[in-house]
Amino acid sequence: MRHDTLRVPDAALHYELRGRGPLLVLVGAPMGTRFFAAAADLLAADHTVLTTDPRGIGASILDVPESGSTPQARADDLARLIAHVDAGPAAVFGSSGGAVTGLALAERHPGVAHTVIAHEPPVTEVLEDREERRAAIEDIIATYESGDPAGAWKKFMVNANIHEGPPAGPPPDAQQIADERFWFRHEMRGTTVFRPDIAALRSGPTRVVVALGEDSAGQLLDRTSHALAALLGTAPVPFPGGHIAFVMDPPGFAARLRQVLSP
């Protein structure tokens, strides 16, 4: 596996490259390389797998730390990374905010990806209750800014209609706390107000697939995934597990992703 950094005009982007074969990009937001590592190792058996820490997260350092992260900026970063590794066009699997990055990539850089799989994209702007969803996000951010991260997470889970509690584990380290802060303060708003250009996605050269976890029924991103797929004239493609199946079940996730990418 190769670790490296790509310098872009306003940031230094950390990325990892492993395997050999057709280029496959696994991307999240705010999820970075460590979340995709196990799945990337499996998929590297027959793909060149590119993962990255999105701008402002992990080892991807912004020149101005308090600047924001928009899907458009992250899409430009991804296009530069794909050009840099010189193995495209790519298949891109994006989850959560990374799914929105993938949609923006298909709009802004047609043909850089031959396929974008948008897994549970939080595109709440395509919902009828979009104003309510915007207000909920502003309340979550305000709660975090007031010094109540636990309260912000609770409100986030309620808004997402996810009822299970956070997984047990060790206390967050300094990097995780910094990533959380960046996400609440500089990434969440820009990601959730993104409205896909449906005409561009339908007419462009990139195949766009909306994917949805089988365990996500009834959640907010179940609604956004179905709404986006309907606008694109398709139906969501089922993936095993829930929102982070690539973390919880890497073998099942990798097997399903290979199926979806097969001609």
200 falls within a domain: yes
- Residue 149: inside a domain: no
**Is 35 within a domain?**
yes
pLDDT over 70 (residue 169): no
**209 - beta bridge partners?**
117
Average pLDDT over residues 70-90: 96
Q: Specify if 139 maps to a domain.
A: no
pLDDT at 1 over 80: yes
Instruction: For residue 20, give its domain range.
Output: 2-124+194-261
Q: How far is CA 193 from CA 67, 109, 172, in A?
A: 17, 20, 28
pLDDT digits (tens, 9 = 90+) for 193-216: 999 999 999 999 999 999 999 999
Integer Cα distance of 65 and 52 in angstroms: 18
Separation of alpha carbons 225 and 126, rounded Å: 10
73 in any annotated domain = yes
**Mean pLDDT on 32-49:** 98
Q: Is the pLDDT of residue 69 over 80?
A: yes
Confirm whether 202 is domain-assigned. Answer: yes
pTM, whole model, 2 decimals?
A: 0.96
Question: How many separate domains does the chain show?
Answer: 1
Range with lowest mean pLDDT among 98-107, 168-177, 217-226 = 168-177
What pLDDT is attached to residue 172? Answer: 85
- Is residue 146 assigned to a domain? no
Tell me what pLDDT residue 202 has: 97
Q: Is residue 224 part of a domain?
A: yes
Q: Band the pLDDT of 165: cuts 50, 70, 90.
A: low
Overall average pLDDT of the 12-31 stretch? 97
Looking at residue 171, its pLDDT comes to: 78
Q: Over 60: is that where the pLDDT of 166 sits? A: no
Q: What number is the average pLDDT over the span 172-199?
A: 96
Amino acid letter for position 4: D
pLDDT, mean of residues 34-42 = 98
pLDDT in tens, 126-160: 999 999 999 999 999 999 999 999 999 999 999 99
Residue 88 has what pLDDT? Answer: 85
pLDDT greater than 90 at residue 250: yes
What is the pLDDT, as a whole number, of residue 15?
98
Which CATH number goes with the domain that contains 103?
A: 3.40.50.1820
Indicate the average pLDDT of the chain: 96
